[in-house]
Amino acid sequence: MKSHTSVSLNRNYHYMTGTLKVKPVRRVYVPGRTPYHVVDPSPWPVLMGICLWSVAVTFISWVYYIPIQKPHVILGMLVLTSFGWIRDIIMESTFQGFHTEKVQSGLTLGFILFLVSELMLFFSFFWAFFHMALSPSIEIGGCWPPAGLHCLDWSGTPLHNTALLVMSSGSISSAHHFFMDGEWEFGLGVSYYLTLYLSYLFIENQYMEYMWLPFTIADGVYGSCFFMLTGLHGLHVIAGTCGLLFCGARILLMQFSDTHHVALTLAIWYWHFVDVVWLALFFIIYVWGS
């Protein structure tokens, strides 16, 4: 049996002569050894891509009056895929503890970049509106709003909707403060569900406004810009309301704490983003552009 010294000298000799062969080490993720989360293989990104592609094809077919067989199946697949993906994320963050501070900061940065992309989307439609409003062409009468188009009075439903969203922004901020202070029984519940009620009133008012408007999306460039901006914002309000409902359900299930509530923070940020976009839309489209 060789001694420890002889083995060491033998290894040094092979190392110096270049004949030492070292087997590659397989790197294995050990929880707690790194602040990052190495995600397990998941089918949800592929399934979500297929579902979104199917939804886009269905929408394009609906625009061109092409019949689609069983579109509710595609919608059901989208809902089930979203449910499965969100379930796995909740398991990883709440029950398995994989969402460390580094992971939470990465999710926050990604959501900020998502909001920037959403802002650029709205900016493109605002650019089209400003382009036509500042230099109206002769085809629309050389004036803005276009000749013969009766615009909506900003002091009616639009002002009411503005007040609703401003109040909802204040109420959701109060709910966040109550949550951080630990007042979950009364203050958080009243402020949170007041926000949900105000969002419902906004969606209802927007629907009634569409029902009584004297023009449609086909009435020239003004109708196209108006319905694209207000309709896109309305979809964001619906998405923000769903996010708040989802976080409200997680609050009731006691899945948040004062140090672990990234989903709630991002939902509140999204709601503030929707409010800011509406203020710009109100002053530009309803007040100045009309």
Question: Tens of pLDDT along 59-116?
Answer: 888 878 888 777 888 888 989 999 999 999 888 888 888 888 888 899 999 999 999 9
Query: pTM here?
Result: 0.81
- Helix spans in the chain (H): 4-17, 44-63, 71-90, 101-134, 157-181, 187-212, 220-252, 262-281
Say if residues 149 and 226 touch (Cβ distance below 8 Å).
no
Say if residues 98 and 37 touch (Cβ distance below 8 Å).
yes
284: tokens are: 């530009």
Q: How far apart are CA 135 and CA 142, in angstroms?
A: 8
Please report the pLDDT score of residue 19 as a whole number. 47
Q: What is the pLDDT of residues 232-259, one digit of tens each?
A: 999 999 999 999 999 999 988 888 887 7
Among 284, 3, 2, smallest CA distance to 144 is for 284
The reply to whether CATH 1.10.10.10 applies to domain 100-287 is no
Domain boundaries, the chain: 43-98, 100-287
Q: What is the pLDDT of residues 218-231, one digit of tens each?
A: 888 888 999 999 99
**Look-up of token digits 């004062």:** 258
Q: What is the pLDDT of residues 117-175, one digit of tens each?
A: 999 999 999 999 999 889 888 877 778 888 778 888 888 899 999 999 999 999 999 99
Q: What is the pLDDT of residues 202-216, one digit of tens each?
A: 999 999 999 988 888
Please report the pLDDT score of residue 33 as a whole number. 59
Determine the straight-line distance between the first and last CA of the chain, rounded to whole angstroms. 95
Say if residues 72 and 140 touch (Cβ distance below 8 Å).
no
Instruction: Give the CATH number of domain 43-98; options: 1.20.1530, 1.10.287, 1.10.10, 3.40.50.
Output: 1.10.287
Q: How far apart are CA 190 and CA 195, in angstroms?
A: 9
Q: How many CB atoms within 10 Å of residue 93?
A: 20
